[in-house]
Structure 1
Amino acid sequence: MKHLFTFLMIGLALPAFSQKPSPESLKEAIMAKLSTVEGVFAVAFKDLQTNQTLFINEKENFHAASTMKTPVMIEVFKQAKANKFKLTDSILVKNEFKSIVDGSPFSLDINDDSADGMYKQIGQKMTIYDLTYQMIIVSSNLATNILIDLVDAKKANATMREFGANDIQVRRGVEDDKAFQLGLNNSVTAYDLLLIFEKIAKKEAIDQTASEGMLRILFDQKFNDVIPAKLPKEVKVAHKTGSITGVQHDSGIVFLPDGRKYVIILLSKGLVKGKSSIGAFADVSEMIYNFVK
């Protein structure tokens, strides 16, 4: 009888230990994790099945770094849908661009570009699709500036407004030093990035075909040390990273094997120790995954 009583007590206690943590306790745990790194952070999360959300500094403005390349990709697919060009059309790979400040020419430095292989293509032609692919999966700055010249940063910005992303600013290409010195930078908020990735996830970004095409590119992301780093291999992540000095971002959609999915945005700035947020953000991603699972 004594053993039966003990067994019953353990059985009654198990639900308490297996109970899902509350969103409030998850938020507290995330904030505690991020407090171990010196910097400013933003987190946005949305479970696309339950619509449950979690926000930390979601309206804070951050230098976009390479996260602005997702809005550029969306604009490329939008203009292709409008028959302004075909994704299979080829255009010249060049390395001369005009500053938005005064139209003066500038070129990109191969040493500052994560996709140095692109520079071997200068003077040759590449398809618009291949340029978009390189812009996302290896974050090619050269491909980005070529595509911005093609679609126009102002039009990409206008499309973000149509998506309801009112604070994203797509102003210019990469390494426009004159614009940088005047503070004319691309910027994002965690909230707005969540909005545009939610549209892609729901296949509402331009249309279903465009959304599926963008997802295929995002799934091939080569920089995977933040959102996917501590997730099981069977979990798929479609995402876009971004980093410059003192800034480290990751943004995207997590797909669970059972079909559920959620959007997660992780932004940082003012980092005192370079890439110090990478490990903390990977932990936060794991915490959110465990919460959803």
Structure 2
Amino acid sequence: MSLYDDIKGFVNSTDGNIGVSIKNLKTGERIDVNEEMMFPSASTIKILIMAQIYKMAKEGYIRLTDNIVLSDFMKTAGSGILYQLNSKHKFTIEELITLMIIISDNTAANVLIDIADMKNINRMAEDLGMLHTKIQRKMMDFEAVKSGKDNYTCPKDMTHLLELIYAGKVVDEEYSSMMLDILKKQQDLGRLDLYLPDDVLIAHKPGELKLLEHDVGIVFLENCQYIISVMTNNLSTNLDGRKAIGKISKMVYDEYVKL
């Protein structure tokens, strides 16, 4: 059986929804299962927010060294640490990007959404060819969700975005490299990396909501690099979602590490 057959069989045997999009950057092979299935994006949308902020820096609208003073009204609960800190701390925009990505800080994300503007983020998604990706609310805005506004994406779109970053084509080569470096520092673990050796380098961004687990990233092996985006929801528990991502990731690793 092929790797595609193994993944397809696993997806079909699992309760709930799983979408997978993989691209081997050495061979060009693609493996897609439910790749255009739309999911609430959770924190994977933060990659796109980061990209728009860097675009604004490139165009001179902001400077990455600009300081933002933390105020109580900015604080958002959920993942991250900023909402637990005292107000009046100063952070540069670059530091907020790093916090948003590597520990998925929601306060940092919402501040950056305000700076970037949702319309600009969505325009960037369109310009990059992310046909099923849209941001319509801030992090932890569950009232917006109740009113029908949510953030959406699909595995295919995230694999496409990561491939453009890898190729140096998001904003430009310099800013793509900066994005990649931040994604390599990810501290929210236990999905794509769950069953892989500890020394495997992954540039990735997970996302999590109730009964929803995602992880999208680029895996760097000695002789092969590949992109893998796995999204899940409505499995029995969040742990089941993380394990499903980990098992699919291990299947791909076991195949591509031999190349």
Give the TM-score normalised by the residue count of structure 1: 0.83
- Superposition pairs for residues 177-196 of structure 1, below 5 Å? 177-196=142-161
Is the 1:87–1:129 contact (alpha carbons within 8 Å) kept by the matching residues of 2? yes
Q: Is residue 272 of structure 1 aligned with residue 251 of structure 2?
A: no
- Superposition pairs for residues 238-257 of structure 1, below 5 Å? 238-257=203-222
Q: State the SS of the aligned residue for 1:66.
A: helix
**RMSD over aligned Cα atoms:** 1.6
Which of these residues, 61, 72, 76, is aligned with residue 108 of structure 1?
A: 76
Q: State the SS of the aligned residue for 2:91.
A: strand
- Superposition pairs for residues 71-110 of structure 1, below 5 Å? 71-96=48-73, 108-109=76-77
Is the 1:165–1:192 contact (alpha carbons within 8 Å) kept by the matching residues of 2? yes
Is the 1:94–1:146 contact (alpha carbons within 8 Å) kept by the matching residues of 2? no
Question: How far did residue 233 of structure 1 move?
Answer: 3.4
- Superposition pairs for residues 113-124 of structure 1, below 5 Å? 113-124=78-89
Which of these residues, 172, 176, 183, is aligned with residue 141 of structure 2?
A: 176
Which of these residues, 29, 32, 40, is aligned with residue 55 of structure 1?
A: 32
- Decide whether aligned partners of structure 1 residues 108 and 150 sit closer, same or farther in structure 2, where only a CA change above 3 A counts: same
Partner of 1:45: 22
Q: Give, as a single letter, the amino acid of the residue that structure 2 aligns with 1:277.
A: G
Deviation sequence 1:226-262 (CA, Å, 0-9, x none):
112222334210000000001000001111123x311
Question: CA separation in 2, counterparts of 1:195 and 1:240?
Answer: 14
Deviation sequence 1:27-65 (CA, Å, 0-9, x none):
221233334542100000001122110001111110001
Q: State the SS of the aligned residue for 1:46.
A: strand
Deviation sequence 1:205-239 (CA, Å, 0-9, x none):
11111011111110111122111222233421000
Which of these residues, 241, 254, 258, is aligned with residue 290 of structure 1?
A: 254
- Decide whether aligned partners of structure 1 residues 172 and 95 sit closer, same or farther in structure 2, where only a CA change above 3 A counts: farther
Give the % identical residues. Answer: 30
Is the 1:37–1:276 contact (alpha carbons within 8 Å) kept by the matching residues of 2? no
- Decide whether aligned partners of structure 1 residues 153 and 121 sit closer, same or farther in structure 2, where only a CA change above 3 A counts: farther
Question: CA separation in 2, counterparts of 1:59 and 1:166?
Answer: 9
Q: State which structure, 1 or 2, has the greater radius of gyration over its C-alpha atoms.
A: 1
Question: CA separation in 2, counterparts of 1:92 and 1:122?
Answer: 8
Partner of 2:11: 34
Q: Give, as a single letter, the amino acid of the residue that structure 2 aligns with 1:108.
A: T
Q: State the SS of the aligned residue for 1:275.
A: helix
Q: Is residue 213 of structure 1 aligned with residue 181 of structure 2?
A: no
Question: How far did residue 118 of structure 1 move?
Answer: 4.7
Question: How far did residue 122 of structure 1 move?
Answer: 2.7
Q: Which runs of 4+ in 1 moved over 3 A?
A: 34-37
Which of these residues, 157, 162, 168, is aligned with residue 197 of structure 1?
A: 162
- Decide whether aligned partners of structure 1 residues 96 and 50 sit closer, same or farther in structure 2, where only a CA change above 3 A counts: same
- Decide whether aligned partners of structure 1 residues 166 and 121 sit closer, same or farther in structure 2, where only a CA change above 3 A counts: farther
Question: Which consecutive residues of structure 1, in runs of 5 or more, have no partner in the other structure?
Answer: 1-20, 98-106
- Superposition pairs for residues 225-236 of structure 1, below 5 Å? 225-236=190-201
Question: CA separation in 2, counterparts of 1:217 and 1:57?
Answer: 28
Question: How far did residue 130 of structure 1 move?
Answer: 0.5
- Decide whether aligned partners of structure 1 residues 291 and 151 sit closer, same or farther in structure 2, where only a CA change above 3 A counts: same
Q: Give, as a single letter, the amino acid of the residue that structure 2 aligns with 1:254.
A: V
Aligned residues: 257
Q: State the SS of the aligned residue for 1:45.
A: strand
Question: Which consecutive residues of structure 2, in runs of 5 or more, have no partner in the other structure?
Answer: none
Q: State the SS of the aligned residue for 2:219.
A: strand
Give the TM-score normalised by the residue count of structure 2: 0.94
- Decide whether aligned partners of structure 1 residues 185 and 95 sit closer, same or farther in structure 2, where only a CA change above 3 A counts: farther
Question: How far did residue 273 of structure 1 move?
Answer: 2.0
Is the 2:211–2:241 contact (alpha carbons within 8 Å) kept by the matching residues of 1? no
